[in-house]
Chain A
Amino acid sequence: MRNLWIIAKRELYGYFTTPMAFVFIAIFVAMTGAFTFYIGRFFDRGQASLETFFSFHPWLYLLLVPAVAMRLWSEERKSGTIEQLLTLPITTTDAVLGKFMAAWLFCGIALLSTFPIWVTVSYLGDPDHGVIGLSYIGSFLMAGAFLSIGACMSALTRNQIIAFIAAAAVCFVFTMSGLDLVLNFFRAWAPLFLVDVIAASSFLVRFESVTRGVIEFRDVVFFLSMMAFWLFATTVAVDAKKAA
Chain B
Amino acid sequence: METMVELDGLSKHFGPFVAVDGINLKVSKGEVLGFLGPNGAGKSTTMRMVAGFLTPTAGTAKVCGHDVASDPVQVKSLLGYMAEGSPSYEDMTVRAFLTFIAEVRGLSGQAAQARIEEVVTKIKLEDVIDRPIDVLSKGYKRRVGLAQAILHDPPVLILDEPTDGLDPNQKHHVRTLIEDMAAEKAIIVSTHILEEVEAVCTRAVIIGNGKLLADGTSEELLRNLPEHNAVHVVVAPEVASDAATKLQGATNVSDATQVTRDDGTTEIQCAPTNGADILVAVGAVLRDNSIPYSQLYKNRGDLDAVFRQITAGGSTDA
Where the two chains meet, the residues of A that have a C-beta atom closer than 8 Å to any C-beta of B are 3, 6-7, 9-10, 13-14, 17-18, 79-81, 83-84, 86-91, 239, 242-243
Contact = CB atoms under 8 A, between A and B. Distances in A.
When A and B form their complex, which 10 residue pairs have the shortest distance between CB atoms, in order from nearest?
A80-B87, A89-B77, A89-B76, A83-B83, A87-B51, A6-B103, A87-B81, A88-B104, A81-B87, A10-B100
Contacts of B74: 89
Interface in B93-111: 96, 100-101, 103-106
B48 A10 contact: no
Given A17-B92, A81-B88, A88 B83 contact: no
Contacts of A18: 91
A6 B55 CA distance: 25
A18 B54 CA distance: 31
A84 B83 contact: yes
Contact of B48 (A81, A83, A90): A83
Query: Main SS of the interface on chain A?
Result: helix
A18 B134 CA distance: 13
**Interface residue tally on B, bucketed by range:** 20 to 34
Contacts of A7: 104
Contact of B90 (A79, A87, A91): A79
Contacts of B100: 6, 9-10, 13
A142 to B, nearest CB: 29
A14 B87 CA distance: 15
Interface of B: 48, 51-55, 72-74, 76-77, 79, 81, 83, 85, 87-92, 96, 100-101, 103-106, 132, 148
Contact of A87 (B55, B79, B89, B103): B79
A243 B91 contact: no
26 contacts: A6-B103, A9-B100, A10-B100, A13-B96, A14-B89, A17-B92, A18-B91, A79-B90, A80-B87, A81-B88, A83-B83, A84-B83, A84-B87, A84-B88, A84-B148, A87-B53, A87-B76, A87-B83, A89-B74, A89-B76, A89-B104, A89-B105, A89-B106, A90-B73, A90-B104, A243-B54
Contacts of B91: 13-14, 17-18
Contacts of A14: 89, 91-92
Contacts of A3: 104
A10 B103 CA distance: 11
A87 B52 contact: yes
B318 to A, nearest CB: 23
A84 B89 CA distance: 9
